Amino acid sequence: MQKKFNTSVRVAILSDTHGFLDPRIAEVVKSCDVAVHAGDIGGASVLKDLLPQRRKVLAVRGNNDTVEKWPPGEGDLLNKLPFEAALDLPGGRLVVVHGDRAGTAQTRHDRLRKTYPAARVIVYGHSHRLTCDQGRNPWVLNPGAAGRSRTFGGPSCLLLVAGKKNWRVEKVRFRNQAARR
């Protein structure tokens, strides 16, 4: 799947919601032009809660996005989700995969760079760990977990501002909320 833009674009990048999108992350997404979800979505309700300004959502299937783990009756939508997708942005291409098929944590970034050398940025999820590897091209980004499962310090996402010449990434992390009774 490929979409094109001609002007500077704000992209919300998130992953690993596992059926629950933190409302604070949903608010961040509203300020963006497009949302990219790197898998382990957990259900159609998460995708419906992603409301970027241009109403464009690009999502891929994660290893936990299975018929057994999604709510009943949502298999048609689940089966339409690709395992990888691309988004053409001003100044380059964003590729998104879940990351579970990209090898061990120690080799994942090198493997992703070898697999997608033409990308400007590669987005993946799976580990639930917020990571911005911008030391060489393509950049490799993991937004962490945007739900409540294994957030390692709180739900998080990334904001990418993509222009023809310059790209900028901002980390967004919220504190874990106290358990509700």
Q: What is the pLDDT of residues 32-53, one digit of tens each?
A: 999 999 999 999 999 999 989 8
Q: What number is the average pLDDT over the span 131-137?
A: 94
What separation in angstroms does the CA of 60 have from each of 17, 175, 179? 12, 26, 29
Find where tokens 């023809």 sit. Answer: 164
H or E element in which residue 37 lies: strand 34-37
Say if residue 24 is exposed, middle or buried (CB neighbours under 10 Å; 0-12, 13-18, 19+): middle
Q: Which has more confidence, 107 or 12?
A: 12
What separation in angstroms does the CA of 123 have from each of 45, 92, 112? 22, 13, 9
What's this model's pTM, rounded to 2 decimal places? Answer: 0.92
Q: Residue 2 region, left (φ>0) first, then alpha (ψ -120 to 50), else beta?
A: beta
DSSP 99: S
The whole-number pLDDT of residue 5 equals 58
CATH architecture for segment(s) 9-173: 4-Layer Sandwich (3.60)
Whether residue 3 has pLDDT greater than 60? no
pLDDT tier, 1 (very low <50, low <70, confident <90, very high otherwise): very low
